[in-house]
């Protein structure tokens, strides 16, 4: 009976072979029970994954398929002629879901054009594309930098690295890099947190590490579905290609004890052929040099498919020295949409991989993200590209946040000190506010926090400033603030908490304990916060910052005298504390809501003993709103 089954399988395979083209590729699942079977399997086929629970995904030609059956392997045919399947799936897609002309994905030329378009549209935030190096065939490994100073590497800012298309048949990786860039840039003007990231980080994006292999796939299958994975190195036996993601110099080619050729291959024709030596390829040399130049804090390399968020190690089952921190951030970024674990556990043994090298050689927190499910495959249907990107986008944004210090206010604890005891804010009451800050980033947080001693914020409200130092992944609970609740009736009261770090500012507006009627009041315009960097000193520059809504027009007024009782002006929200004010400066706030003014104090001491009062006015399309008044003693 067993021989009849095998005969029947062979007949079926022959039929398949007759109907397929000679270069067609079948997607098979092959059962492997022992290392000896794995060794035999690798001798029969060149394109296969590491075993997962005794099952190996194999991409085989009809001849290889037939050879597996002849050798007695238990084979399940998942998809015949998988390249044609991918191409036909893309052709049936809706036009609006197509990002590019190659099966819904961008060609290499279209990637170049998109990088140019981004720079042209956002020249103040995106560098011109620049080459990290060149491939074997002379094609550039293009990169762009996203930052508020994009044409210059600023060594004092943390760097986040994101690359795609190490493997030429995984276009979702390059597409995700491009979409991530567009998403950040389009949010810059509306989202102060995104603007803050672009002001305080450098984001390096490399959409295509393997241009030669990607261009070859376009030549093979211009409508998408090309199955070439490696670069285009001509090997000694006449075969072509090195797997770039097995060519890095961290335990390159390490043999796993008791396991034959897992992790990479020494056979030229295998899809995971590791090359003649570590960094034998100009593409990986370019990435090595970039790592040494830019020293990223967090690096992510994107692949498809597997729905996995992996961290080192891949070459050994031993845990990485920093495994708890690696896992902590991976779980935060994966949002329970991806399986989280080290590469050895999730993918199988790999050696010479980029993430192991980034982490092992440079101590960079590094992750490999496999985007998409088995049904999506290497070339997802075009209508799946946006959903797949949206699954990974929040985690990528968090990775940018975590690459430096990143403060969040995790707890607001309100306690009534004097009032009617009804647990809601009411005029004339005094409340205690205790704040807990958390540093979610990988760098120590050194910041200042400012908060007013009365609510709503008015010209006579003093600002309390606290200096804060929090280690990574640590919390700090601040000494309580006492806040007096003044009269409010027209607007819902709000409290502004300003965090200042690295010459940039983030404004928090915490939820207040309001009753139903109070909560139904309309939102108040944001009261601008005026901040002076430090006490003025002769011969030094003084920085005055005003934080308001993004892109509001900010006016700064000065006066020699302050009113005993603050007064109101028509059409101005809040009260004025200056007598005979003089407008000394105006500008538009940036995307974080910050406007800054600098003045050089004379070194001759001519300003010594002088006292002036400053007050800012913020203007949007509807409101004029005053800040608190700030005395300045020289």
DSSP 439-484: E-SSS-EEEEEEEESEES--TTPPEEEEEEEE-TTEEEEPPPEEEE
**498 CB neighbour count, 10 Å cutoff:** 23
When pLDDT is cut at 50, 70 and 90, the band that residue 13 belongs to is very low
pLDDT at site 502:
67
- Whether the pLDDT of residue 294 is over 80: the answer is yes
pLDDT at site 23:
67
Euclidean distance between CA atoms 60 and 63, whole angstroms: 8
pLDDT at site 522:
87
**pLDDT one-digit tens code per residue, 596-620:** 888 888 888 777 888 888 989 998 8
pLDDT at site 255:
61
User: What is the third-level CATH fold of 95-223+245-254+278-402?
Assistant: Aminopeptidase (3.40.630)
pTM for the whole structure: 0.89
Whether domain 526-634 has CATH 3.60.21.10: the reply is no
Phi-psi region of 432 (alpha: psi -120 to 50; beta: other; left: phi over 0): beta
Is omega for the bond preceding 400 within 30 degrees of 0, making it cis?
no
CATH architecture entry for 405-524? Sandwich (2.60)
Distance of CA 418 to the CA centre of its chain: 46
Task: Read off the pLDDT of each residue in 112-120 and give the average, rounded to a whole number.
Answer: 97
When pLDDT is cut at 50, 70 and 90, the band that residue 412 belongs to is confident
- Whether the pLDDT of residue 12 is over 80: the answer is no
Q: Which residue has the higher pLDDT, 152 or 256?
A: 152
CATH architecture entry for 2-80? 2-Layer Sandwich (3.30)
In degrees and rounded to multiples of 5, residue 138 shows phi and psi of 90, 15
pLDDT at site 570:
86
Percentage above 90 pLDDT, the chain: 51
Q: What is the DSSP letter of 134?
A: E
When pLDDT is cut at 50, 70 and 90, the band that residue 261 belongs to is low
- Whether the pLDDT of residue 336 is over 50: the answer is yes
Question: What is the average pLDDT score of the chain?
Answer: 88
Task: Read off the pLDDT of each residue in 26-36 and give the average, rounded to a whole number.
Answer: 85
**pLDDT one-digit tens code per residue, 314-329:** 999 899 999 999 999 9
**320 CB neighbour count, 10 Å cutoff:** 18
pLDDT at site 298:
98
The shares of helix, strand and coil residues in the chain, as percent rounded to the nearest 5, are 25, 30, 45
Task: Read off the pLDDT of each residue in 562-581 and give the average, rounded to a whole number.
Answer: 85
**pLDDT one-digit tens code per residue, 352-364:** 999 999 999 999 9
Euclidean distance between CA atoms 91 and 258, whole angstroms: 46
pLDDT at site 33:
84
Q: Which two tokens stand for residue 293?
A: 């130049």
**What three-state secondary structure class fits 511?**
coil
Choose from 429-438, 539-548, 576-585 the range with maximum mean pLDDT.
Answer: 429-438
Give yes or no for a contact between 435 and 409, defined as CB atoms under 8 angstroms apart: yes
Label the pairing between strands 365-370 and 430-439: unpaired
Q: Which residue has the higher pLDDT, 455 or 102?
A: 102
Q: Which two tokens stand for residue 441?
A: 């980033």
Structural domain spans, the chain: 2-80, 95-223+245-254+278-402, 405-524, 526-634
**pLDDT one-digit tens code per residue, 230-240:** 999 999 999 99
- Whether the pLDDT of residue 21 is over 90: the answer is no
């Amino acid at each position: 009976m067993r021989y009849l089954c095998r005969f029947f399988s062979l007949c079926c395979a022959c039929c398949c072979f007759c109907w397929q083209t000679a270069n067609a590729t079948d997607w098979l699942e092959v059962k492997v029970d022992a290392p000896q079977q794995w060794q035999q399997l690798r001798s029969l086929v060149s394109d296969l994954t590491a075993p997962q629970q005794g099952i190996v995904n194999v991409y085989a030609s009809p001849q290889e398929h037939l050879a597996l059956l002849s050798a007695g392997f238990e084979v399940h045919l998942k998809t015949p002629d998988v390249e044609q399947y991918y191409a036909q799936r893309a052709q049936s897609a809706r036009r609006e879901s197509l990002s590019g002309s190659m099966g819904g994905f961008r060609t290499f030329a279209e990637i170049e054009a998109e990088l140019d378009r981004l720079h042209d549209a956002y020249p103040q935030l995106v560098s011109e594309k620049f080459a990290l190096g060149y491939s074997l065939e002379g094609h550039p490994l293009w990169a762009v930098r996203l930052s508020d100073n994009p044409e210059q590497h600023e060594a004092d800012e943390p760097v986040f690295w994101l690359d795609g298309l190490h493997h030429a048949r995984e276009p979702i990786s390059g597409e995700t890099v491009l979409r991530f860039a567009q998403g950040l840039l389009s949010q810059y003007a509306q989202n102060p947190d995104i603007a803050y990231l672009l002001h305080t980080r450098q984001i390096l994006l490399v959409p295509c590490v393997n241009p030669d292999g990607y261009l070859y796939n376009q030549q093979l299958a211009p409508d998408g579905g090309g199955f070439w994975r490696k670069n285009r190195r001509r090997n000694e036996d006449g075969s072509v290609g090195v797997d770039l993601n097995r060519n890095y110099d961290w335990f390159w080619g390490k043999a796993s004890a008791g396991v034959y050729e897992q992790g990479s291959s020494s056979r030229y024709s295998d899809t995971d052929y590791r090359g003649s030596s570590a960094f034998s390829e100009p593409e990986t040399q370019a990435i090595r040099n970039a790592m040494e130049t830019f020293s990223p804090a967090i690096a992510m390399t994107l692949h498809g498919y597997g729905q996995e968020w992996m961290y080192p190690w891949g070459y050994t089952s031993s845990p990485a020295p920093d495994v708890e921190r690696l896992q902590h951030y991976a779980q935060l970024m994966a949002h329970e949409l991806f399986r989280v674990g080290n590469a050895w556990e999730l993918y199988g043994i790999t050696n010479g991989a980029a993430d192991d090298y980034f982490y092992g050689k440079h101590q960079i927190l590094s992750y490999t993200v496999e985007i998409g499910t088995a049904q999506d495959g290497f070339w997802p249907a075009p209508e799946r590209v946006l959903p797949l990107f949206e699954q990974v986008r929040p985690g990528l944004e968090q990775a940018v946040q975590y690459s430096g210090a990143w403060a969040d206010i995790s707890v607001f604890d309100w306690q009534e000190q004097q009032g009617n005891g009804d647990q809601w804010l009411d005029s004339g009451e005094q409340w205690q506010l205790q704040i807990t800050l958390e540093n979610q980033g990988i760098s120590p947080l050194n910041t200042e926090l400012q908060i007013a001693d009365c609510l709503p914020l008015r010209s006579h409200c003093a600002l309390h400033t606290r200096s804060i130092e929090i280690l990574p992944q640590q919390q700090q609970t601040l000494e309580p603030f006492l806040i007096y609740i003044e009269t409010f009736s027209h607007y819902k009261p709000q409290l502004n908490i300003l965090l200042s770090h690295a010459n940039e500012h983030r404004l928090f507006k915490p939820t207040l304990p309001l009753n139903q009627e109070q909560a139904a009041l309309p939102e108040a315009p944001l009261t601008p916060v005026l901040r002076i960097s430090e006490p003025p000193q002769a011969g030094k520059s003084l920085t005055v910052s005003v934080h308001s809504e993004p892109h509001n027009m900010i006016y700064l007024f000065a006066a020699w005298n302050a009113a005993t009782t603050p007064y109101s002006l028509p059409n101005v929200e809040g009260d004025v504390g200056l007598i005979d004010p003089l407008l000394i400066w105006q500008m538009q706030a940036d995307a974080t809501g910050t406007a800054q003014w600098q003045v050089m104090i004379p070194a001759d001491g001519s300003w010594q003993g002088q006292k002036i009062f400053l007050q800012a006015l913020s203007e949007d399309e509807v409101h004029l709103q005053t800040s608190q008044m700030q005395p300045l003693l020289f």
